[in-house]
């Protein structure tokens, strides 16, 4: 990638003002295969200045003009779709087929859904003699994570452009190459200079400078709850809008009427998707006490059926976790689970047999997990499932809601009306009934310490809009 050591500012690839570079590590081999430049607050100043200049004219374009631009972005994205899949597979360690179908494919799905949304979105409406008008919020900072990188970049940048905002993106420094490729896509699609700017760097330096910047009107952040709290503090003195999608510890309630073979197996596979590195992964499986042992045996078989290995091997169903930091965190939490008395029925500490290099974690299942245990309360972000018994439906709901997080929840039942009734009582931003297909039109975001605001479709667009009432506008 020819632009890896540059930033995209004001419609051009420019040299960084600093000299620090960071290697990009292949998590399958633990070896560097590229490097990127690391930004400074001075780089952020010039990127924000470019966005501020561009906002004057871009904010005055019409929704129809911006929708034409989004359609062009989709065209160019599709032209480079396979390159995007290969890039994410290499820097994240995701199995190649999954990286193409989902890691890259989800970007296309978001663009498709945004186009459908904007074909019918009501930008203005009359309420009596008042005109209610939707207008861009201004210059926005986009700070995105490494686990579903292009998903979070597209579901922020595309609606921000559609809203008429201008922006500065700081992608994760762990998986930065897909973001550089996305900048090339926007450039080729004809996004005007200054509308989209990209500066690579770390959170404490570049992310903090963005969050605190006087000329940034909004921060849209996806990442850990800890980092989200720091960003909110940095943003508070300028009273900018802060939109956050943070951590999760999602419960998966299997009611007593469900087909356990199918429901447990699907729950294990969903938990282990993307090597367990999904904020909405169903990491707490709640099962009736009387069926606990049955569920454990099914989960054990499902976990042991996974083939852990390099991303480019055809038989691989699970790649490594993304980094040495993540590997050490997951291993530490597995050890805590063992120390606190949870029963390991699959996986455990150490790499899978035969994999001496790479950040590979064994697909791990714990049984007889108590709600007070660390592995039942902390987000592990790895392929670790906690199976928790419950007494009755009321107990299951209480356990599911007993969490500082509220991003997602899952309910499995043969009785769909029963599943619906349980769903209404769960304190989570998304509830998934009987493992439905992923829906780009559904609002995504959390309750409690899982964040605030919603992304995807019209909710993602509205996140970047101000509402103006022009009173006395007339008939």
In 3-state terms the chain splits into helix, strand, coil percentages (rounded to 5) of 40, 20, 35
SS3 75: helix
CB 456 within 8 A of CB 440: yes
Active site residue 155: no
φ, ψ of residue 195 in degrees (nearest 5): -70, -45
The helix or strand, by DSSP H or E, that contains position 7, with its residue range, turns out to be strand 7-9
Per the annotation, the verdict on 245 as an active-site residue is yes
- The tally of CA atoms less than 13 A away on the side-chain side of residue 316 is 24
Cβ contact 195:10 at 8 Å = no
The catalytic position among 118, 279, 379, 462 is: 279
**One of 113, 173, 184, 245 is an active-site residue; which one?**
245
**Which stretches within 347-415 are classed as H helix?**
374-377, 393-401
User: What Å distances lie between residue 30 and 48, 91, 93, 323, 456, CA to CA?
Assistant: 35, 11, 10, 8, 34
Q: Which residues contact residue 56 at a Cβ distance below 8 angstroms, ignoring those fewer than 6 apart? A: none
Burial class (CB in 10 A: 0-12, 13-18, 19+), 170: buried
Question: Of 40, 330, 8, nearest to 183 (Cα)?
Answer: 8
- Residues 183 and 8: beta-carbon distance below 8 Å: yes
CA–CA separation, 444 vs 430, rounded Å? 7
**Within the chain, what is the greatest distance between any pair of CA atoms?**
74
112 in Cβ contact with 74 (< 8 Å):
yes
Query: Tokens 């850990």 belong to which residue?
Result: 224
Phi and psi torsions of 174, nearest 5°:
-80, -35
CB 24 within 8 A of CB 91: yes
Q: Between vectors from CA 151 to CA 150 and to CA 155, what angle results, nearest 5°?
A: 110
For CA atoms 434, 440, 443, 449, give the dihedral sign. Answer: positive
Contact yes or no for 35/22 (Cβ under 8 A) = yes
Task: Determine the straight-line distance between the first and last CA of the chain, rounded to whole angstroms.
Answer: 56
CA angle 185, 189, 195 (to 5 degrees): 85
Catalytic residue ranges: 245, 279
């Amino acid at each position: 990638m020819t632009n890896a050591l540059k930033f995209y500012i004001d419609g051009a690839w420019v040299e960084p003002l600093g000299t620090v570079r960071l290697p990009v590590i292949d998590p399958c081999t633990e070896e560097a295969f590229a490097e990127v430049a690391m930004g400074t607050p001075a780089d952020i100043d010039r990127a924000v200045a470019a966005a501020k200049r561009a906002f004057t004219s871009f904010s005055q374009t019409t929704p129809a003009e911006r929708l034409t631009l989004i359609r062009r972005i989709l065209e160019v994205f599709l032209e480079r779709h396979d390159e995007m899949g290969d890039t994410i597979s290499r820097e994240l360690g995701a199995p190649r087929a999954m990286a193409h179908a989902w890691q890259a494919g989800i970007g296309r799905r978001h663009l498709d859904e945004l186009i459908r949304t904007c074909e019918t979105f009501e930008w203005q409406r009359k309420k009596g003699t008042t005109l209610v008008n939707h207008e861009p919020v201004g210059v926005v900072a986009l700070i995105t994570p490494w686990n579903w990188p292009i998903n979070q970049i597209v579901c922020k940048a595309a609606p921000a452009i559609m809203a008429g905002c201008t922006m500065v993106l700081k992608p994760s420094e762990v998986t930065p190459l897909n973001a550089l490729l996305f900048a090339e896509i926007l450039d080729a699609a004809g996004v005007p200079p200054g509308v989209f700017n990209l500066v690579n760097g770390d959170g404490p330096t570049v992310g903090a400078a963005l969050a605190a910047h006087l000329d940034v009107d909004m921060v849209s952040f996806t990442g850990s709850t800890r980092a989200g709290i720091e960003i909110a503090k940095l943003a508070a003195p300028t009273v900018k809008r802060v939109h956050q999608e943070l951590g999760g510890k999602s419960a998966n309630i299997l009611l007593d009427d469900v087909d356990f073979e199918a429901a447990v197996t699907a729950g294990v596979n969903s938990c282990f998707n993307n090597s367990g590195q999904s904020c909405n992964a169903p990491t707490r499986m709640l099962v009736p006490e009387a069926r606990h042992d049955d569920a454990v045996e099914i989960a054990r078989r499902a976990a042991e059926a996974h083939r852990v290995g390099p991303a480019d091997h055809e038989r691989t169903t699970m790649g490594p976790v993304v980094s040495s930091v993540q590997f050490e965190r997951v291993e530490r939490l597995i050890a805590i689970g063992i120390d606190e008395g949870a029963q390991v029925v699959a996986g455990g500490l150490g790499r899978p047999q035969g994999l001496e290099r790479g950040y590979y974690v064994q697909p791990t299942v714990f049984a007889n997990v108590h709600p007070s245990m660390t592995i039942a309360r902390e987000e592990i972000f790895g392929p670790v499932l906690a199976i928790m018994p419950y007494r009755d439906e009321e107990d299951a709901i209480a356990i599911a809601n007993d969490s500082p997080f509220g991003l997602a929840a899952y309910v499995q039942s043969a009785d769909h009306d029963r599943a619906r009734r349980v769903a209404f009582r769960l304190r989570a931003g998304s509830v998934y009934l009987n493992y439905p297909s992923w829906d780009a039109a559904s609002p995504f975001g959390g309750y409690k310490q899982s964040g605030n605001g919603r992304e995807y479709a019209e909710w993602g667009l509205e996140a970047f809009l101000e509402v103006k009432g022009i009173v006395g506008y007339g008939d």
